[in-house]
């Protein structure tokens, strides 16, 4: 814990006054630059891991090269008293995700997203991809302006490899683009997908891909495989033009999305009939979508009244994602492989490629077991057993023979999994597991 830093001075210049925010890897303090007599925010890394120090330094370098009215400014970075720190512009405001629905109108939301996109366009032009765009990383000032912050996962575009492993998936799962889960090349269009998720949430009060049981793999599966629901199917007040923009941003293939942040900002400006010229886009401009006619300002509720009820679910997803990813994706290769193989198993099951699904689930179970991740082992056991039941039911319906060894293996893994669900009061998973186990046992008796 870093409370001991309060009242101390880093490098003889930055006085730490009060803790104002806490994250998984760093704490934020209000402080004073005693040399310039200026209030500042001081971000102090709490994790001593060398990899996290490198990522922290990368954040400072990425942000220091950006000078834009909608990006939190970085003044300095260093190491003092055994702590790595970044000195930043002190922002007085709220995160975008904490804004109350009554504070928003359609016009307000659109103008704020234009500023977010202007910030991203500038960053992309300067070779920086944010890679962790989400409401918690956008601050709304009292005057309504926004500031994008926390480039902690930012990468120089020149450093992006064509093979991103699952261990590098360290953003918040709810907002990540499909290509991040599939090991495909990641570029600036990934940030645009994340903006699409944010727009969807702002205008519907819900995330496009979520799991009522907080199953992270199911959320990943949705991003990779399921089409995004139409925003107007959730909130009829969403303008048709906004829905079109959101669904374009949420395309699975990056080539089918808007290609630049400038293009998205231009589409939003067209909706407002905004005569303010947009920043000039470098290079040949992409072919823009057909501009929609301006619509009249109206007091619509971008997020419905029921948002407060839905917020805990999305907050749990974010909190669980932070905790689990901090503990697993970046640090445990076995668990890292488990998530990747579980996703492969789900995709193969959907395609009825049962040999691949069996291989993937067995590999996932082995990886989670080696990583001592009991809950994920249990969840994957449930998915594996479900797949085995589906496979053998189809074989029987087609006049084939059921595989008793596979059925017995499914019984074994389910028997081991049920105590984990029971001990955590996960009643839905427990009920489903017990039902499957009963069906498997009866099938085995019948086939022997």
Provide the token pair at 362: 């067995």
Please write down the HEC assignment for all residues of the chain. Answer: CCHHHCCCEECCCEEEEEEEEECCCEEEEEEEECCCCEEEEEEEECCCCHHHHHHHHHHHHHHHCCCCCCECCEEEEEEECCEEEEEEECCCCEEHHHCCHHHCCHHHHHHHHHHHHHHHHHHHHCCEECCCCCHHHEEECCCCCEEECCCCCCEEHHHCCCCCCHHHCCCCHHHCCHHHHCCCCCCHHHHHHHHHHHHHHHHHCCCCCCCCCCCHHHHHHHHHHCCCCCHHHCCCCCCHHHHHHHHHHCCCCHHHCCCCHHHHHHHHHHHHCCCCCCCCCCCCCCCCCCCCCCCCCCCCCCCCCCHHHHHHHHHHHHHHHHHHHHHHHCCCHHHHHHHHHHHHHHHHHHCCCHHHHHHHHHHHHHHHHHCCCHHHHHHHHHHHHHHHHHHHHHHHHCCCCCCHHHHHHHHHHHHHHHHHHHHCCCHHHHHHHHHHHHHHHHHHHHHC
Which listed residue (132, 150, 191, 336) is catalytic? 132
Provide the token pair at 204: 């519907």
> How many whole angstroms from its chain centre is CA 415?
33
Provide the token pair at 25: 């890897």
Q: How far apart (Å, rounded) are the C-alpha atoms in residues 20 and 238?
A: 35
**What b/e string do you get for 112-151 counting C-beta neighbours within 10 Å, with b at 16 or more?**
bbbbbbbbbbbbbbeebbbbbbbbbbbbbeeeeebbbbbb
To the query of whether residue 370 is one of the catalytic residues in this protein, the response is no
* Residues carrying an active site annotation: 132
């Amino acid at each position: 814990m870093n409370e001991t830093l309060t009242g101390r001075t880093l490098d003889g210049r930055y006085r730490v006054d009060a803790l104002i925010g806490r994250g998984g890897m760093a704490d934020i303090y209000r402080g004073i630059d005693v040399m310039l007599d200026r209030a500042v925010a001081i971000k102090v890394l709490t994790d001593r891991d060398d990899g996290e120090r490198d990522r922290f330094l990368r954040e400072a370098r990425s942000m220091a090269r950006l000078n834009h009215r909608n990006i939190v400014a970085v003044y300095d970075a260093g190491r003092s008293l055994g702590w790595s720190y970044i000195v930043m512009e002190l922002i007085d405001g709220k995160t975008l995700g904490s804004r109350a629905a009554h504070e928003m109108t359609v016009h307000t939301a659109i103008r704020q997203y234009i500023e977010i996109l202007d910030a991203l366009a500038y960053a992309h032009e300067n070779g920086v991809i944010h890679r962790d765009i989400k409401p918690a990383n956008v601050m709304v000032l009292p005057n309504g302006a926004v500031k994008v912050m926390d480039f902690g996962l930012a990468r120089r575009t020149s450093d992006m490899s064509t093979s991103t492993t699952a261990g590098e998936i360290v953003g918040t799962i709810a907002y990540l683009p499909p290509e991040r889960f599939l090991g495909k090349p990641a570029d600036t269009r990934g940030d645009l997908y994340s903006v699409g998720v944010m727009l969807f949430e702002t205008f519907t009060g819900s995330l496009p891909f979520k799991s009522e049981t907080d199953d992270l793999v199911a959320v990943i599966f949705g991003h990779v495989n399921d089409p995004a629901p139409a925003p107007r199917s959730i909130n009829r007040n969403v303008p048709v033009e906004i829905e079109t923009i959101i669904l374009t941003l949420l395309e699975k293939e990056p080539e089918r999305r808007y290609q630049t942040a400038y293009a998205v900002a231009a589409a939003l400006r067209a909706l407002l009939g905004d005569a303010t010229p947009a920043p000039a886009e470098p290079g040949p401009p992409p072919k823009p979508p057909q501009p929609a006619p301006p619509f009249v300002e109206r007091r619509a509720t971008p997020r419905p009244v029921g948002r407060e009820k839905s917020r805990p679910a999305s907050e749990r997803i974010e909190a669980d994602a932070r905790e689990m990813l901090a503990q697993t994706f970046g640090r445990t290769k076995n668990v890292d492989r488990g998530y990747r193989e579980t996703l492969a198993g789900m995709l193969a099951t959907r395609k009825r490629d049962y040999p691949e699904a069996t291989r993937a689930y067995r590999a996932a179970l082995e990886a989670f077991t080696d990583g001592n991740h009991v809950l994920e082992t249990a969840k994957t056991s449930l998915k594996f057993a479900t797949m085995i039941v589906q496979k053998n039911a189809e074989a029987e319906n087609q006049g084939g023979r059921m595989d008793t060894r596979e059925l017995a293996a499914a019984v074994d893994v389910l028997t081991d999994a049920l105590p984990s669900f029971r001990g955590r009061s996960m009643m839905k998973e427990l009920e489903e597991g017990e039902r499957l186990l009963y069906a498997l046992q009866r099938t085995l008796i019948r086939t022997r």
